[in-house]
Amino acid sequence: DSSSVDSLNALTARCLSVEAIRSFRRRVEDDDSRARLRAAMADVDDLDDAYGLSSGSTEEQVEALETMPIADLERLVDAVETLLPAATGVMLRERNEYMAGRLHWLREAGESVVAVVGPAHVPGLRTLLDDPGSIPSEHVVEPRTVRFVDG
């Protein structure tokens, strides 16, 4: 639908902004940065070879990500964050902070919480929820909707 296209266009614009390009140039100006970028690219290549992340259908690629061990997924997220910090900032960090804030609010309200999230969000959410002081205060609010399951 058009709202999905608009959201994708906004995300693309944020990730490919002039500031993102300038930031990338600053990060590759010294030897240490170039070495980190090379290592990140090597990690992505290794994981791609192991799991076929760039081959097959979209469904097969999603399946590979969903079944990848958490340690390898963390390695992939770290590598992508090194290569594309603006993209991971939008796609992971900001979303993790948003979700963690609401989950923390529920826990503080005495609720038992079970959250179902994509595997790439697990490490970041775990880190934030282990240290609630690191969650930006603007995200620690009551969720708009809460569905309770009686069991």
pLDDT in tens, 60-113: 888 888 889 988 988 988 888 888 887 777 788 899 999 999 999 999 999 998
Alpha carbon distance 14, 62 (integer Å): 24
Report pLDDT for 4.
63
Is pLDDT above 80 for 122? yes
Instruction: Please give the model's pTM, rounded to 2 decimal places.
Output: 0.61
Report pLDDT for 61.
86
Taking alpha carbons only, the member of 113, 116, 105 closest to residue 139 is 105
Q: Are 28 and 37 in contact, with CB atoms under 8 Å apart?
A: yes
Report pLDDT for 56.
81
pLDDT in tens, 33-44: 778 888 888 888
Report pLDDT for 31.
72
Report pLDDT for 28.
63
Report pLDDT for 131.
97
Return the exposure string of 14-39: e unless at least 16 CB atoms fall within 10 Å of the residue's CB, then b: ebeeeebeeeeeebeeeeeeeebbee
